[in-house]
Structure 1
Amino acid sequence: METFNTSVRWDLSNLLCGPDLERFECYLNSIKEKLTEIEEYSKTNILNNSELTMISQIIKNIESAESFYYCLTTENLDPSHLTSLNGFVSALKSQVSFILSNLQEDLSNMSENQLVNWSNNINQKSLIVDLLKDAETTTKEEKVVSNFARETLGGLEDLYIQVRNNIKIDPVKGGDEITFAEAINLALAHPEQSKRIQVFNELNKTLETQANIFASIYNQMVALRLNENKIKKVDYLDESLKLNGISRPILNTMWNAVESNIQELSSYFKIKEEIGTEKPSWHELMTSSQNESIQITFSQAVEEITKSLEKIDNNMCEFVRRTITQGWVDAEQRGTKPPGGFCAPFIPEGESRISLSFDNSIDSARRLAHELGHAWHFKQMKDTPSIQFSDDTFEMTMAETSSIFFETAFIDYIIQNTKEVSVKKAILGSKIERSLNYLMSIRGAFLFENEFYERRKKGQLNAKQIEELSLTCQEKAYGDSLIEYESFVWIKYGQFYQANVPFYNYPYSFGFLLSIGLLELAKEDKQFKQKFQGFLSETGMLPLEQLFKKHFNIDLSQPDFWQQSVQRLIQDIELYNHSL
């Protein structure tokens, strides 16, 4: 019975200028005018308190505008207008970086006394800490290169999106053509297996004809990052680890916990064989959730997500209800939506907007829980003055923690409260396979990305070489447990082409294992909800590993925490094999 009624369309009218492109463009122009005034002033004057305060506010305005742009990409709007808006936002970010870079150069030329006097006149000391730190450690050449790289990578990401969105697939030969996003959704989520396979095969045939274009884009993006890192004298992975707030020993400890348990983890596939099911293919593994017979409406999903959080934190429950009733979520199925979903933050406004295609499946309900976890995280973050874009401070490792925490709590609740044994086992199996996806599929993507960067130092890889590399890395990550792997993961996963997020993949595995560990802590620590909120609220203020130590007194460089999280998944596999 439905107990929660709500619209499946979000409300954009109360954000910025609302969904009026002309007014939105005027809004962006007003930001540009303010930046231009500051830039002109800076040519003859040192920027002081009022200018830095204004830049801090402008950065927040730009970030809200960027989130609004992402929301608009799911609406039925002219792609050329969206491309123009995206370019406008990228140019504003570059202009801010240019202004701050010039200010850093001015500060580096000051005497110690001049610098002290200047600092004393800045009211918000937090505005100058990172500015002075970067001024000491970053050369002018490096800043110019970084600004160029940021803008060029943004253009290449947009090119990837345009090429991908222009792809048309004819899955039934002579029928209506469908978009890339529609094909992905059908290939992974159509209720009929034969239809999923048909669309999947036709999509891959089409991608094979376009593979050279995607190979060229990805080669260019990686080469650009490698050249930037060379000038900065940093390693590509070290730069990523810094952005994610963790050290290499911690990443190695996490992956070692996965690698050392690979036999126990892959035993799930042997169990499936023993009960009469062949080894799955990559595609079958990604779509097994469609074999669950349980259906759940949008309002039921909201109610069940709320109930799953009651024993953890009542504030989470109230937040979920408020998010839905205030029109933050767009769950309508539309061809303009990308695969999966997203949560766009509007930190100064204290809101978020969530987009996903809800199809009454348990998997789409899980995805809703995931995005609500992101929104909860954004709600905890303090709106503090800063002259850094959140791209530079919001660690992906942290970003994926609250979201996976919410989705895992929801799925565990559904399993515990499902009476029919066959359905319970199907949902548990789906949970296990999704968990293995976090540890195996994403590890395969990590191994691929790592190896691609190494090989790209020596020259370009053609589409066939990229495909072969991807398959080899998947086979290693899955412990050679699947009957067939996916040739075009490197095209389908838009994460590889994100302009602002190098080495995107491992944060999901990190966030997954971190969230599992946090759920275990929630069961035994009476102060958990205060600790968790404090942990999330200080995002970006300290590296993640230091924040975790501060709030939970746990050293993530030690293997115990990670082993416990992996062991929780192994227990699920044992339950699947024996208890049901």
Structure 2
Amino acid sequence: METIKAQTRWNLNNLLYGFDLEKLSKHINSIKEKLTDLETYSVAKILKENELLTLSKIIKQIESVESFYYCLTTENVEPALLTSINGSISTLKSQVRSILSHLQETLLELTEKEFDEWASGINEKRLVTDVFRGKRIRKEEVNKLSFAGETLSCMQEVYEQIRNNLVVRMNLVDEEIELTFSEANHSAMSHSDSSKRLLIFKELNRSLGKQANEFASIYNQMVGLRLNENRIRNVHYLDESLKWNGISSTTLNVMWDAVDSKSKELSEFLKIKAKEAGKDKLTWHELMSTPEDVSLNFTFSQAIEGIIKSLQTIDSNISEYIKEGITKGWVDAEQRKTKPFGGFCAPFLAEGESRISLSYDNSIDSARRLAHELGHAWHFQQMKVVPSLRFSEETFEMTMAETSSIFFETAFINYVIEDTQDESIKKAILGWKIERSLNYLMSIRGAFLFENAFYECRKNGQLDVWQVEKLSQQSQEKAFGNGLSEYEPYVWIKYGQFYQADVPFYNYPYSFGFLLSIGLLEISKGNEGFCKKFQGFLSETGMLPLEQLIKKHFHLDLTQPEFWQRSILSLIKDINQYKNSGS
């Protein structure tokens, strides 16, 4: 029975200037004027604590404007206006970085004694650290790294342009159609007709193959630039990524070793699914695109109720928070053409709110996605707003970002499975859950293995298309325990994460966040003190590396295999339950 009449349209009017875009434009201009004043001041004098705190507040204002922009992209707003707002945000961010770059150069001209005097006058020591991202380096290194960063950004843009301009042409039921990359990639995995799914999948790969040389060239150049950066800094190619994610190489290796040690048990599900389909082995496309027969539907209100109930016993504060957010119109669940595939959660940290967008269609996957985004919102709600000279995107560790969201969605799915009386539906949902879980531990594992292998090979020179694709296939075979008959072609082109200028090794944080979240969910069972620890853990995001935060709040040592093994055991229990359940 529905007890929550949840509105499906969000309220943007109480954020910034709502839909009064003229006032928003004036607000953006006022931020620009403040930055220009700071820029002028920095030419004559070295920025001290007062000026740095002002810059920190401006950064928070820019972030709020950017979050509001994301919300506007789902509304019926003139594209030219959106382009203008986005351009203004990019300009403001560039201006901030220019001020910090100038400050870096000025400080590099100081003697050690002069630098120490400047630093001693700043009480908020994080501001000093933020200027140099941890350590003071030589001016020549700053120039070289700045050039490399600009080049990587240009290469990312080239990749995006080529991919977005890709056209997939095919004959579908005696009709010639044209699809963009995004449309084809989505339809290849989710079209309701399995024969059409496969046809689109093959045609997309054929189209990608025609331009594979260009994509291979771009990726070769980007990795080559990064390897050159590493030589300048005298670091390993994974070091920067690990630092950004707040973990050590030991922890990452222990996590992957735990996954590999259970590869046989995890691959058992692939055999079960193949047997159900009357085959020796499934292809990657069959495994990932065949929808489970999950006929369980949720209205938006029912989904909210289910999410609240699934988290009630863990932390009643979470349930009250969700009720408040829904009541105040923080979620927009309407289906509109202006919305992209999937959903997002836009944080307004300074305002203490978030806004969630998704196209809700009453399916269990929509309900899961809603739980996922509410998990992000809860995380943002706990975070302390502290002075910083870095944008949140630079300090919000991806390993941390996916923890609360996957925690929420897993708690919800577990609740649905337990609450479902129909055994056939229960099994279908469980199978769907396992497939999503294996995506974190197999597909993403394959992407990480590929990326790591490519970096090693690239040290000896560029790789041609055949070599790149061979590395990709070998990585997938290992990650899936040789459990499939065919693997995903051109995954290294399809995954835009490989081409992110600012984020090397994008993939493993999702696997990390998944295993961390389900491990914490197990710890939460019957643990009265868990909610306080979890809130404290999330509240200090970016203040300490994740590995240290876990040890501080939960007394867990992630460099040891026990935690990871327990997390994986939870998934193996699901596989055994699926295997032993009735058809």
Structures share fold, TM-score greater than 0.5: yes
1:448 maps to: 450
Q: 1:465 to 1:326 in 2, by over 3 A?
A: farther
**Mapped contact 1:184–1:339 kept (Cα < 8 A):** no
Q: 1:102 to 1:566 in 2, by over 3 A?
A: same
Amino acid at match of 2:185: I
1:236 maps to: 237
Partner SS, residue 574 of structure 1: helix
Shift of the alpha carbon at 1:44?
Answer: 1.5
**Mapped contact 2:427–2:581 kept (Cα < 8 A):** no
**Mapped contact 1:438–1:512 kept (Cα < 8 A):** yes
- Between 1:514-523 and 1:98-107, the stretch displaced more is 98-107
Partner SS, residue 349 of structure 1: coil
Q: 1:451 to 1:111 in 2, by over 3 A?
A: closer
1:509 maps to: 511
Q: 1:148 to 1:29 in 2, by over 3 A?
A: farther
Q: Partners in 2 of 1:149 and 1:142 — Cα distance?
A: 10
**Mapped contact 2:292–2:432 kept (Cα < 8 A):** no
* 2:131 paired with 1:95: no
2:55 maps to: 55
* 2:64 paired with 1:64: yes
2:303 maps to: 301
Q: Partners in 2 of 1:537 and 1:265 — Cα distance?
A: 34
Shift of the alpha carbon at 1:288?
Answer: 3.7
Q: 1:442 to 1:374 in 2, by over 3 A?
A: same
- Between 1:354-363 and 1:457-466, the stretch displaced more is 457-466
**Mapped contact 2:49–2:121 kept (Cα < 8 A):** yes
Shift of the alpha carbon at 1:290?
Answer: 4.4
Q: 1:561 to 1:101 in 2, by over 3 A?
A: same
Q: Percent identity between the aligned chains?
A: 62
2:475 maps to: 473
- 1:295-325 CA-to-partner distances (Å, cap 9, x unmatched) read 2233322221111111111111122233333
Q: Partners in 2 of 1:229 and 1:318 — Cα distance?
A: 47
Amino acid at match of 2:391: F
TM-score normalised by L of structure 2: 0.90
Shift of the alpha carbon at 1:150?
Answer: 4.1
2:436 maps to: 434
- 1:205-259 CA-to-partner distances (Å, cap 9, x unmatched) read 3333444444344334333333332322222211110111000010000000000
Q: 1:488 to 1:6 in 2, by over 3 A?
A: farther
Q: Partners in 2 of 1:77 and 1:221 — Cα distance?
A: 35
2:189 maps to: 188
Partner SS, residue 483 of structure 2: coil
Amino acid at match of 1:141: E
Amino acid at match of 1:391: E
Q: Partners in 2 of 1:7 and 1:500 — Cα distance?
A: 38
Q: 1:163 to 1:14 in 2, by over 3 A?
A: farther
Shift of the alpha carbon at 1:3?
Answer: 4.0
Q: Partners in 1 of 2:49 and 2:123 — Cα distance?
A: 6
* 2:180 paired with 1:205: no
Q: Partners in 2 of 1:170 and 1:7 — Cα distance?
A: 40
**Mapped contact 2:194–2:290 kept (Cα < 8 A):** no
Q: Quick one: which of 365, 377, 380 aligns to 1:378?
A: 380
Q: Partners in 2 of 1:34 and 1:64 — Cα distance?
A: 16
- 1:385-427 CA-to-partner distances (Å, cap 9, x unmatched) read 1112223321111111111111110110111011111111111
Q: How does 1:395-434 map to 2 (within 5 A)?
A: 395-434=397-436
- 1:496-516 CA-to-partner distances (Å, cap 9, x unmatched) read 233332111000111111111
Q: Partners in 1 of 2:525 and 2:142 — Cα distance?
A: 47
Q: 1:506 to 1:70 in 2, by over 3 A?
A: same
Partner SS, residue 137 of structure 1: coil
Shift of the alpha carbon at 1:117?
Answer: 5.2
Q: 1:456 to 1:133 in 2, by over 3 A?
A: closer
Amino acid at match of 1:49: E
Amino acid at match of 1:255: W
Once superposed, what is the RMSD of the aligned Cα atoms? 2.8
2:346 maps to: 344
Q: Partners in 2 of 1:315 and 1:428 — Cα distance?
A: 28
Q: Quick one: which of 497, 504, 510 aligns to 2:499?
A: 497
Partner SS, residue 314 of structure 2: coil
**Mapped contact 2:348–2:354 kept (Cα < 8 A):** yes
- 1:366-392 CA-to-partner distances (Å, cap 9, x unmatched) read 122112111111111111111122233
Q: Quick one: which of 522, 525, 542 aligns to 1:523?
A: 525
Q: How does 1:301-380 map to 2 (within 5 A)?
A: 301-334=303-336, 337-380=339-382
Amino acid at match of 1:190: H
Partner SS, residue 246 of structure 1: coil
5+ long unaligned stretches in structure 1 = none
**Mapped contact 1:94–1:151 kept (Cα < 8 A):** no
Amino acid at match of 1:324: I
Q: Partners in 1 of 2:550 and 2:222 — Cα distance?
A: 33
5+ long unaligned stretches in structure 2 = none
Amino acid at match of 2:52: L
Q: Partners in 1 of 2:331 and 2:316 — Cα distance?
A: 20
Q: Partners in 2 of 1:220 and 1:334 — Cα distance?
A: 39
Q: Partners in 2 of 1:239 and 1:295 — Cα distance?
A: 44
* 2:140 paired with 1:141: yes
Partner SS, residue 43 of structure 1: helix
Q: Quick one: which of 551, 554, 559 aligns to 1:552?
A: 554
Partner SS, residue 234 of structure 1: coil
Q: Partners in 1 of 2:547 and 2:347 — Cα distance?
A: 23
Q: Partners in 2 of 1:367 and 1:249 — Cα distance?
A: 32
**Mapped contact 2:245–2:399 kept (Cα < 8 A):** yes
Q: Partners in 2 of 1:284 and 1:323 — Cα distance?
A: 39
Amino acid at match of 1:239: E
Shift of the alpha carbon at 1:576?
Answer: 1.0
2:34 maps to: 34
- 1:323-378 CA-to-partner distances (Å, cap 9, x unmatched) read 33333333344555444333222211222233333332212221221121111111
Partner SS, residue 416 of structure 1: helix
- Between 1:180-189 and 1:384-393, the stretch displaced more is 180-189
**Mapped contact 1:181–1:337 kept (Cα < 8 A):** no
TM-score normalised by L of structure 1: 0.91
**Mapped contact 1:329–1:354 kept (Cα < 8 A):** yes
Amino acid at match of 1:423: I
Amino acid at match of 1:188: M
- Between 1:248-257 and 1:206-215, the stretch displaced more is 206-215
Q: 1:358 to 1:132 in 2, by over 3 A?
A: closer
Shift of the alpha carbon at 1:168?
Answer: 4.5
- 1:78-113 CA-to-partner distances (Å, cap 9, x unmatched) read 767656654543443333233223334444555676
Shift of the alpha carbon at 1:178?
Answer: 4.4
Q: 1:206 to 1:113 in 2, by over 3 A?
A: closer
**Mapped contact 2:292–2:428 kept (Cα < 8 A):** no
Q: Partners in 1 of 2:145 and 2:353 — Cα distance?
A: 31
**Mapped contact 1:250–1:557 kept (Cα < 8 A):** yes
Partner SS, residue 53 of structure 1: helix
Q: Partners in 2 of 1:315 and 1:86 — Cα distance?
A: 36
**Mapped contact 2:292–2:429 kept (Cα < 8 A):** no
Q: Quick one: which of 391, 398, 401 aligns to 1:389?
A: 391
- 1:147-193 CA-to-partner distances (Å, cap 9, x unmatched) read 44444444444444444444444562635644443433333333443
Q: 1:500 to 1:37 in 2, by over 3 A?
A: same
- 1:37-92 CA-to-partner distances (Å, cap 9, x unmatched) read 21221112121232111110122122233333444444566767656654543443
1:128 maps to: 128
**Mapped contact 1:186–1:199 kept (Cα < 8 A):** yes
- Between 1:246-255 and 1:314-323, the stretch displaced more is 314-323
Q: Partners in 1 of 2:103 and 2:331 — Cα distance?
A: 40
1:4 maps to: 4
Shift of the alpha carbon at 1:518?
Answer: 0.1
